Amino acid sequence: MSSTATTTAIQLERIPTGGSARSPYEIPTALPETPQHGSPSPSPPPSFEPDRELVALAPPDKGSQAWLFLFGATVLETTVWGLLNAVGILQNYWTTEMFPDHESTVTLAAALMNGLSFMSSLAAFPHQTKMIQVMGLVVSSIGLVSSAFVTSPTQLIGTLGILYPCSAALYLPAATLIYEWFHVHRGLASGIMFAGTGVGGTVFPFILDGLLRRFGYKATMVSLGLGFFALNAASLVFIRRRIPLSREVGPRRSLNWHIFTTWAFWCGFVVLLLTSLGNFNPTLWIPTFADNIGATKPGGVALVSIMNAASVPGNALIGYLSDRVATKFMIIGTCTIGAVSVLVAWGLGTTTAPLIVFAIVWGMTSLSFVSLWSRLITRICKDDPTLPMLIFSVFAMLRGVGNITSGPVSTKLLQTSVFRGAAGAYGTTNFGAVLIYTAATTFLGGVVGAFFPA
């Protein structure tokens, strides 16, 4: 941290011995601005009464604490969501090697593993953040290890489908605390953090595939669970608040429920719902699709890795641009390009070349759409510091609904017949309906996004 960095001071009331404490959800309603580099030094603080404390805040957007927080949050993002982005590898192994006659149950387990992870946002309570994170880490690690000993597909639902999603509880506080640590560069910081999903999604398919081939399923899941616990336990050291929670005595301050009547909220709500309905399909089905058309160089594992690798620069780029370009134009661009890539590159992808193009384009656009969340939430919440966690939780639940429904819906769509006489994958595989559904929901999200307020 530079020697010229400034700090901000806020005063906190000591807690009197009597009275009822204010709700732990209370967040200071007005925060003093942090002087920018080169601005005049703040005037000396006024003298305080003996029963007051002075607390120095680390500066936002700079300093070692801000970047260490971003590092820890990125590691959590990499492990929690990177593994989820590689679930297609596990699903393919379950279907072909372990439970070949139970595709629908296996698909449900994979969809729950991904979808319920977003539902864990309900566990992000302010005063219990660290406890919730530790509990989420322990439960999800148990889910990974216990999945090594399953003997039926329904047990996959109980272990990876129910227990592993608790891993999101250790990550989600970091996703909202980033609003405290970064103000000017919030979009860029969010893009870097979300890029961790792409990094994890790039390496985990190769890790899983290599371990499964060499050591078998049981050893793979046990080692994965233990490594998951150790790495994330170390990362939690860097996840901390920049702004202390209010401890003042007084009546509980209610949330601004008027936010749910605004056009910005409902427009963002519909955009998130539509884009989430088909977002999980490429990651889920590309390995199976590659096997169906005989694509081996690269095969399904490599295509998932390419897709996730492309989301690393995609998240960073979209986050960077979101600080400079109107949000509605970013939504239109990412959704339109993503939908076209599904219809054309994947739809005509009966050879490896168009599938590689699809993996790159989809990874840099629709798979990186999450980097726009910070700007959507900033516009919806405006200057109210009590709302970002609530709106993020709503968005996360919408993403979960989309991911949970995508498994059963796409499985049903795969039962449709081949589009006879159609070109590419539409006429040679039964994926035509899935392709159209994925492209349509993505494109409609962009159409609604065109009306998002500036």
Fold assignment, 64-242+258-449: Growth Hormone; Chain: A; (1.20.1250)
Tokens of 409: 């819906």
Specify the pLDDT at position 48. 40
pLDDT of residue 1: 43
The reported pLDDT for the residue numbered 190 is 82
Please state, in angstroms and rounded to a whole number, the distance separating the CA atoms of residues 42 and 20: 35
* Inter-CA distances, 271 with 239, 266, 356, 385, 447, Å: 30, 9, 27, 23, 8
* pLDDT tier for residue 125 given thresholds of 50, 70 and 90: low
- The predicted pLDDT at position 4 comes to 43
> Do 289 and 345 form a contact (C-beta atoms < 8 A)?
no
pLDDT at site 139: 94
pLDDT above 50: residue 454: yes
Evaluate if residue 308 carries a pLDDT over 70.
yes
Express each pLDDT in 201-243 by its tens digit. 888 888 998 999 999 999 999 999 999 999 999 999 888 887 7
Domain boundaries, the chain: 64-242+258-449
Q: Which residues of 348-359 are buried (b: 16+ CB within 10 A; e: fewer)?
A: bbbebebbbbbb
| pLDDT surpassing 90 at residue 270 | yes
* 390 vs 333, more confident: 333
- Range from 68-72, 380-384, 417-421 that averages highest in pLDDT: 68-72
Q: DSSP string of 158-172?
A: IIIIIIGGGGHHHHH
Report the DSSP pairing between strands 52-57 and 8-13: antiparallel
Q: What residues form DSSP beta bridges with 11? A: 54
Report yes or no on whether pTM surpasses 0.75. no
Who has greater pLDDT, 243 or 108? 108
For 94-104, how does the pLDDT look when each residue is reduced to its tens digit (9 = 90+)? Answer: 988 888 888 88
pLDDT at 173: 80
**Predicted pLDDT at 123:** 56
Q: Which residues contact 160 (CB under 8 A, 6 or more apart)?
A: 90, 109, 112, 113, 143, 144, 147
At residue 358, does pLDDT exceed 90?
yes
pLDDT of residue 29: 38
Q: Is the pLDDT of residue 247 over 70?
A: no
User: Of 394, 83, 332, 326, which Cα lies nearest the Cα of 187?
Assistant: 326
pLDDT bin (cut points 50, 70, 90) of residue 263 is very high
Task: Count the neighbouring beta carbons within 10 Å of the beta carbon of residue 30.
Answer: 8
401 confidence band (pLDDT: 50, 70, 90): confident
- Mean pLDDT of the 60-83 span: 87
Q: What is the DSSP letter of 249?
A: B
Is 126's pLDDT higher than 70?
no
Query: Is 268 a residue whose pLDDT tops 50?
Result: yes
How many residues appear in the chain?
Answer: 454
Looking at residue 332, what is its pLDDT?
96
User: Per residue, what are the HEC states of 103-118?
Assistant: HHHHHHHHHHHHHHHH
Contact in structure between 117 and 87 (CB atoms under 8 Å): no
Q: Which amino acid is at 176?
A: T
